[in-house]
Structure 1
């Protein structure tokens, strides 16, 4: 199942477990946010379009982080007039993980938001063991050779 949502003046096609970056919305990392402007719902059957939104539909997402986008340089110039202006801009962004797409006025469940965290927590210890072994082998330094002496340059 997928949905098309509208937020920050833009439209995004999302499915469960997708990670998207949208313009900043309120929320701390780990919070569950509800995106209620669902324009279209699709899946195995026919797509449901809204007029302008699908009534009773909602997308639940978990806030992963609040961050800023890349810097954009804005440069204005008028030739032969001595007019030049340079400005920079960095957009505030919110990274979201889509947890579930809800229909018929259902509310988001806390279990759906906790499920991806539990899966990543289980895989983390398995990944730590090879990392520790690699760090141990990287920590061993081979015997270093004595630096070669340089002959001073002589003037002739």
Structure 2
């Protein structure tokens, strides 16, 4: 089942389990959000269109995070006048996980767990910079299950490292070479 919702002046086609980025919404991370502006529903019973909205249809979502979006640069120029201005901003946006759709006699729920991991944390994990939660919990179990090994062998004596190296052959000075070439 899918739905087309309207929020922030834009329309989004969503299904349960989708992650979407919309204009900033009020609320804390982990709070539930409900959209009543459902324009269209599609499912097993066919497509239901609203005029303009479908009465009684709702889309439930969980707010994952509120963050700043990508940088937008604004550049103004008037040619041959020496006028150039650069400005820019980062728009605030909310990341949502769609958890359910209800309306037109049908219901669809998402059975997964909503993770409240931020985009910055996901990027750090992708680059291997953040510690993984699964590894830190699994390490104590591995240590307890590992068999004990015998004592390590004694380190090798350092006598081999202290052997004297033969001195390298010295090069003749440049002046001596020049003198030999003049004599010939």
TM-score (norm: length of structure 1): 0.70
Give 1:99's aligned residue: 99
Q: Is the Cα–Cα contact under 8 Å of residues 5 and 35 in structure 2 kept in the other structure?
A: yes
Compare CA radii of gyration and give the structure with the larger one.
Answer: 2
Cα RMSD (Å): 3.1
Secondary structure at 2:53 match in 1: coil
Secondary structure at 2:135 match in 1: helix
User: Aligned partners of 1:117, 1:20: CA distance in 2, in Å?
Assistant: 13
1:25 aligns with 2:25: yes
Give 2:43's aligned residue: 43
Aligned length: 125
Give 1:74's aligned residue: 74
User: Aligned partners of 1:80, 1:7: CA distance in 2, in Å?
Assistant: 43
CA 1:41–1:72 in structure 2 vs 1: closer, same or farther (change >3 Å)? same
**5+ unaligned residues in a row in structure 2: which ranges?**
116-131, 141-172, 175-184
1:1-156 → structure 2 map (5 Å cutoff)? 1-103=1-103, 116-117=113-114, 127-128=134-135, 132=139
TM-score (norm: length of structure 2): 0.60
Q: Is the Cα–Cα contact under 8 Å of residues 97 and 114 in structure 2 kept in the other structure?
A: no
User: Aligned partners of 1:113, 1:24: CA distance in 2, in Å?
Assistant: 23
Secondary structure at 1:92 match in 2: strand
User: Aligned partners of 1:117, 1:132: CA distance in 2, in Å?
Assistant: 25
Q: CA deviation at 1:102?
A: 1.4
User: Aligned partners of 1:104, 1:34: CA distance in 2, in Å?
Assistant: 17
Residue-by-residue CA offset, 1:79-100 (whole Å, 9 max, x unaligned): 0112111111111000000000
Give 2:146's aligned residue: none
**5+ unaligned residues in a row in structure 1: which ranges?**
106-111, 119-123, 134-154
Residue-by-residue CA offset, 1:2-33 (whole Å, 9 max, x unaligned): 00001011110000010000000101001001
User: Aligned partners of 1:31, 1:113: CA distance in 2, in Å?
Assistant: 16
Q: CA deviation at 1:68?
A: 0.7
